[in-house]
Amino acid sequence: MISTLKKDTVNAILTITEALNQIRDIDSLLDRVLLEARRFSRADAGSIYLLENQKLRINFVQNETLAKKESSKKFLYQNHALEINDLSMAGYVALSKKPLNIADAYFLPDNVPYKFNRSFDDLAAYITRSVLTVPLTANNGKLIGVMQIINAQDEENSLIRFSKEDERVISFFANHATGCIEKAKMTREIILRMIKIAELHDPEETGGHVNRVGAYAIELYSSWASSKGIGDNEIKKVRDVLRIAAMLHDVGKVAVSDLVLKKSGPLNDAEFNQMKNHVVMGARLFKDSTSDWDDMAAEIALNHHEKWDGTGYPGAISDIFAKSWQPGPGKKGHEIPLTARIVALADVYDALTSERAYKDCWPEAKVLQHIGSQRGKHFDPELVDIFFSIYDVIRAIKNKYNET
């Protein structure tokens, strides 16, 4: 295939692949992969499905047209899975492991088995025309997923069909991106295995919970950063690190007694003091920092139970690695790192809206009232305002990672 591509295109793809290999978070990686695929083909939209439990589950969506509309970001958190059969375009490509180039999804030939599902178009008031679907296959031929890009455009942004050249370029790019996706998936799986260990110890620390907290955190940060005029490149860089670091906010609970973690009733003072240890123990796990990810994970683990008004814990501690440490005066306001202020809000919202073995979930209205009442007390008031401004996105995340 290389011999049929322009040298500049091949070099561009190889350069992009080097950059992709530096991205650790799978969601940040899929974002970049889809963006670059769309740039190569001047496509308006696209999605990536990854193979999970013998189904194709949609993992990432981009849509330039919808991005210009208010409250469109909720569509990025679709929760949709397809059977691997020839009844859908993505399923057909997963089976055949060959690209499929459709000129108009609304007018498919009569002799093909697959159909076009218009539900997303109807929900989002969007019209899908041209569709290019390519398989994501590893070097050993194993299917990883499917990438679908939608609505090719010409120089005047008029909709056109994808060309044969687009098909070759996107297929070549997909072959190189798949290795990066495999590596990032492995990183996420390792993180979730760590969470699984904590879950055996603490029934509250579930995979769904940490996925939601990580997703809430990056959306709260992105809105905060955009309001401050921070550039897209810096936002993407922080998002890549923040999601994983936020997922590990309570990893220190592995050092807390089961008698405390699994107690069904309120904790007494001695038990609560034991519980407070988890923030220090979590931060200690990242002592030998080798990256900005380690630094942020330690920062969040240590500070996510601090409160805006200074009544949280563990407070200012001179040395968290000392054999015996004592809580200090609670950190207040901007003394608390931004990342920890974000995770504090994300964690409490998810805990209150989630059912656990020892408690029922609160009604959504009661949770929102509580968060509003804690503006300037438990939570950073600016972040509370941002939370309510992107509440439709928060709910979409909640639905995507629903454990029920």
Residue 321: CB atoms within 10 A of its CB come to 10
C-alpha closest to that of 302 among 289, 310, 312, 290: 312
**CB under 8 A, 24+ apart: contacts of 323-327:** 325/280, 327/276
Residue 276 — pLDDT band, cuts 50, 70, 90? confident
Residues 6+ apart with CB under 8 A from 310: 329, 330, 331, 332, 333
Does the N-terminal peptide bond of residue 203 adopt cis geometry, omega within 30 degrees of 0?
A: no
pLDDT tens digit string along 37-69?
999 999 999 999 999 989 999 888 899 998 887
CATH class, 202-400 region: mainly alpha
Residue-wise pLDDT for 145-195, tens only, equals 999 999 999 999 999 999 999 999 999 999 999 999 999 998 888 888 877
Select from 250, 298, 238, 296 the least CA-distant residue to 275. Answer: 250
Question: Which among 133, 71, 64 has a CA at the least distance from the CA of 105?
Answer: 133
Instruction: Please give the share of the chain, as a percent, with pLDDT higher than 90.
Output: 63
Q: Which of 20, 15, 43 is nearest to 33 (CA)?
A: 20
Q: Look up the CATH number of domain 2-185.
A: 3.30.450.40
The count of other CB atoms within 10 Å of the CB of residue 303 is: 25
Q: 284: which 2 tokens?
A: 């200690």
Token couple for 112: 């093909």
SS3 96: helix
pLDDT value, residue 238? 95
Kindly report, residue by residue over 204-236, the tens digit of the pLDDT: 556 788 889 999 999 999 999 999 999 998 999
Which token pair is 156?
A: 């005047």
- pLDDT-derived band at 86, boundaries 50, 70, 90: very high
What three-state secondary structure class fits 134? strand
Phi, psi (rounded to 5 degrees) for 347: -65, -45
pLDDT at 337 over 90: yes
What whole-number distance in Å separates Cα of residue 340 and Cα of residue 333? 11
The answer to whether residues 146 and 94 touch, using CB atoms and an 8 Å cutoff, is yes
Cβ atoms 90, 148 nearer than 8 A: yes
Angle 369-245-252 (CA atoms, 0-180°, nearest 5)?
A: 85
Task: Please report which confidence band the pLDDT of residue 203 belongs to, taking 50, 70 and 90 as the band edges.
Answer: low
Separation between Cα atoms, residue 9 and residue 133, nearest integer Å: 20
CA angle 236, 240, 243 (to 5 degrees): 120
The closest of 248, 285, 256 to 272, measured between CA atoms, is 256
Nearest-CA neighbor of 33 among 55, 57, 62?
62
Where does CATH 1.10.3210.10 sit in the chain?
Answer: 202-400
Whether the CB-CB separation of 333 and 307 falls below 8 Å is answered with no
145 forms beta bridges with 50, 136
- Where does the chain hold its CATH 3.30.450.40 domain(s)? 2-185
Q: How far apart are CA 173 and CA 194, in angstroms?
A: 32
What is the number of other CB atoms lying within 10 angstroms of the CB of residue 170? 27
